[in-house]
Amino acid sequence: MSDRFPGQQLAQISVQELAERLQENNTQSQLQLIDVREPDEIAIARIEGFTNLPLSDFANWSDSIHSRFDPDAETLVLCHHGIRSAQMCQWLISQGFTNVKNISGGIAAYSLRVDPNIPQY
């Protein structure tokens, strides 16, 4: 997976918008939520409803991405600060996903701005 972001600007969603979307009725079932952090990070801080696809385990899950997720459904991607999730968003777009958004600031921003019960690390 590349660090480069050629072409289009990556769509972003704020942590406040994420919280609103998660609270809307039945929205979570319509959203595809992916967390690319490592299992030890998930053990410290997590948001319910996200599927964990650690970037370090990319080789094990990348071939099944189209059978696990709908490329046309809205897909929101989370990490610690928003860098790894941006990489994942770019990769998903390269795989034909059409409605991908990076969660700006990651779980660190979510903890600070939305839910202080989620630990910082």
Q: Which residues belong to the active site?
A: 79
What distance in Å separates the CA atoms of residue 60 and residue 49, rounded to the nearest whole number? 21
Half-sphere exposure of 67 (CA within 13 A, CB side): 4
Amino acid at 87: Q
> For residues 53 and 87, is the Cβ–Cβ distance under 8 A?
no
Q: Which of 58, 57, 56, 49 is nearest to 22 (CA)?
A: 49
* β partners of residue 35: 52, 78
